[in-house]
Amino acid sequence: MNPDALARARALLFVPGHRPERFEKAVRAAGDAIVLDLEDAVAPEDKDRARDNVRRWLEAGGDAVVRINGRGTPWHDADVELAGRHGCGVMLPKAESPEDIAALVDRLPRGNGVVPLVETATGVLGARRLCAAPGVTRPAFGSVDLAAQLGIDPGDRTALLHARSTLVLAAASAGVAAPLDGVTTNVEEYAAAVADAEHAARLGFTGKLCVHPRQVEPVRAAFAPSAEALRWAEAVVSAAGGGVSTLNGQMIDKPVVERARRLLDG
């Protein structure tokens, strides 16, 4: 997946690397891309087999982001070699330092998109530096792991509000694409994923990680601008002049016009 497409993605669907029978099904269900997971979804005894499955699928022309195992694990080097050979996007778990990202980017071909998964307290507190590291396309939020470290409910939006807002600010400050929100673990009711996506969108996220195919399309829709918002944006751009103007009693200046144009650009 090229970095531009990765930056625009609204829903990325995780697929365990040790379940190759799900790869093609996930592609058909995915709205934007799949993430072939070599990390949390795969038990230690299945790591090598999962990497072989992913290698065969990529060699056959498959396209995906690959979540590798973290630096310092026994599987990291082989995972990075796989990603480097096939030029796919890479998700780095437990991202905590720009040096970890730099070490990864140095082993990848130019143009690989890197997504640091910010899922620890250290990662959140250093998010600006992570997002500014060369090679980063956009960050992703690991809400479940962070909640476990903090001893809180991952579904408690208030408890994780500061961390989410910090990541949005870090991405904007570093000039990279807005973050991907973490997963919704309730796979029985897709409305839960939709509600989480709508909350994340209000904070400035522009996409979300998914763990079940039924979550994908509702999540994508939650991050898409509404028809009303698009009509507003079109009216603002049409009414904009060289300085300050008004529309329906509301002031229109440069920041308002820029927001309208971003909505229209999708």
User: What percentage of the chain reaches a pLDDT higher than 90?
Assistant: 77
Instruction: Report the DSSP pairing between strands 11-16 and 33-37.
Output: parallel
**Which tokens go with 227?**
């028809």
User: Which range has the worst mean pLDDT, 7-11, 111-115, 192-196, 260-264?
Assistant: 260-264
Q: What is the pLDDT of residue 224?
A: 85
Distance CA 178, CA 122 (A): 20
Nearest to 24 by CA among 69, 67, 60, 68: 60
**Which tokens go with 195?**
């509600």
Per-chain mean pLDDT for the chain: 90
Nearest to 91 by CA among 140, 156, 42: 140
Euclidean distance between the first and the last CA atom of the chain, given in angstroms as a whole number: 18
Mean pLDDT value across residues 63-70: 96
Q: What is the pLDDT of residue 43?
A: 97
- Give the DSSP H/E element, type plus range, for residue 116: strand 114-118
Q: Are 55 and 82 in contact (CB under 8 A)?
A: yes
The answer to whether residue 233 scores a pLDDT higher than 60 is no
Domain boundaries, the chain: 3-224, 228-265
The answer to whether residue 260 scores a pLDDT higher than 70 is no
Distance CA 10, CA 197 (A): 10
Q: What is the pLDDT of residue 75?
A: 98
Superfamily in which the 3-224 domain is placed by CATH? Phosphoenolpyruvate-binding domains (3.20.20.60)
Mean pLDDT value across residues 168-186: 97
User: Which range has the worst mean pLDDT, 25-34, 50-59, 81-90?
Assistant: 25-34
Reported pTM: 0.88
- Give the DSSP H/E element, type plus range, for residue 48: helix 47-59
Residues whose CB is less than 8 angstroms from the CB of residue 48 and which lie 6 or more positions away in sequence, other chains included: 75, 78
pLDDT digits (tens, 9 = 90+) for 124-175: 999 999 999 999 999 999 999 999 999 999 999 999 999 999 999 999 999 9
The answer to whether residue 110 scores a pLDDT higher than 90 is no
Q: What is the pLDDT of residue 29?
A: 85
The answer to whether residue 259 scores a pLDDT higher than 80 is no
Q: For residue 18, how far is the Cα from the chain centroid?
A: 22
| Residue written as token pair 């973050």 | 179
Q: Which amino acid is at 151?
A: G
